[in-house]
Structure 1
Amino acid sequence: MIGATVTFSYTDDFDRSRITEVAENARGVFEGMPGLRFKFFTFDEQKRQVVNFYVWDSKESAEQFFTEELRERVTGLYGAAPAIAFVEIAAIVDNSAR
């Protein structure tokens, strides 16, 4: 499994409600997406950063998703280019079924 972080700073046009709205509107795009196990929409208001985390079945699935077109779309949406980094996932603990 491969993890991917997508990090970018956002402009003054964004606040908690706008970021939450964007995440909720985008959620449907990711539900049932082949190769994607999880996506977490996160943000840090103090740093004015969004850090989204994805868990993919393979690096190939992740790389197919993170195209130049996607980077441009994210840049246009948030007004900042994203930094994308990949990490190998050794294990996942999922306590959600408790």
Structure 2
Amino acid sequence: MIGVLVTFTQTDKFDRSTLTKIADELRGPFDGMPGLRFKSFMLDEGGGQAKNFYVWDDEEKGRSFFAEELVDKVTGIYGVRPTIEYLDVVGFVDNSGA
């Protein structure tokens, strides 16, 4: 399992309503996506960063998803190029079914 943290940093604050709209509009393609365990759209408290966190069942699918074409697309959506961190998931708790 692999976690991927995608961080968008800008000098101005991200607007919560704009990020909520982005999350609502982009959610559909991720529902039921093969290999994707979950994805979250997040805004830091200070507003200077938007972060998306993914957990993939398969490392190859997780890494290949973030091809240059996708990075270019999300750069256009968020207005800044993201940094992408790949993280080894060594433990996982999922209480969504509880």
Q: Normalized against structure 1, the TM-score is what?
A: 0.90
Query: 1:10 deviation in Å?
Result: 4.0
Hey, what does 1:6 align to over in structure 2? 6
**Structure 2: stretches of 5+ with no match in the other structure:** none
Q: Secondary structure at the match of 2:92?
A: coil
Query: 1:78 deviation in Å?
Result: 1.2
Q: Distance in 2 between matches of 1:51 and 1:42?
A: 5
Moved more, 10-19 or 79-88: 10-19
Hey, what does 1:42 align to over in structure 2? 42
For residues 1-98 of structure 1, the aligned pairs below 5 Å read 1-10=1-10, 12=12, 14-98=14-98
Q: Distance in 2 between matches of 1:50 and 1:6?
A: 8
Query: 1:95 deviation in Å?
Result: 2.0
Q: Distance in 2 between matches of 1:87 and 1:79?
A: 25
Q: Distance in 1 between matches of 2:96 and 2:37?
A: 14
Query: Which consecutive segments of 4 or more residues in structure 1 shift more than 6 A?
Result: none
**Structure 1: stretches of 5+ with no match in the other structure:** none
Query: What is the total number of aligned residue pairs between the two structures?
Result: 98
Q: Normalized against structure 2, the TM-score is what?
A: 0.90
Aligned partner of 1:29: which letter? P
Aligned partner of 1:24: which letter? D
Query: 1:7 deviation in Å?
Result: 0.2
Aligned partner of 1:4: which letter? V
Alignment root-mean-square deviation, CA: 1.6
Query: 1:47 deviation in Å?
Result: 4.1
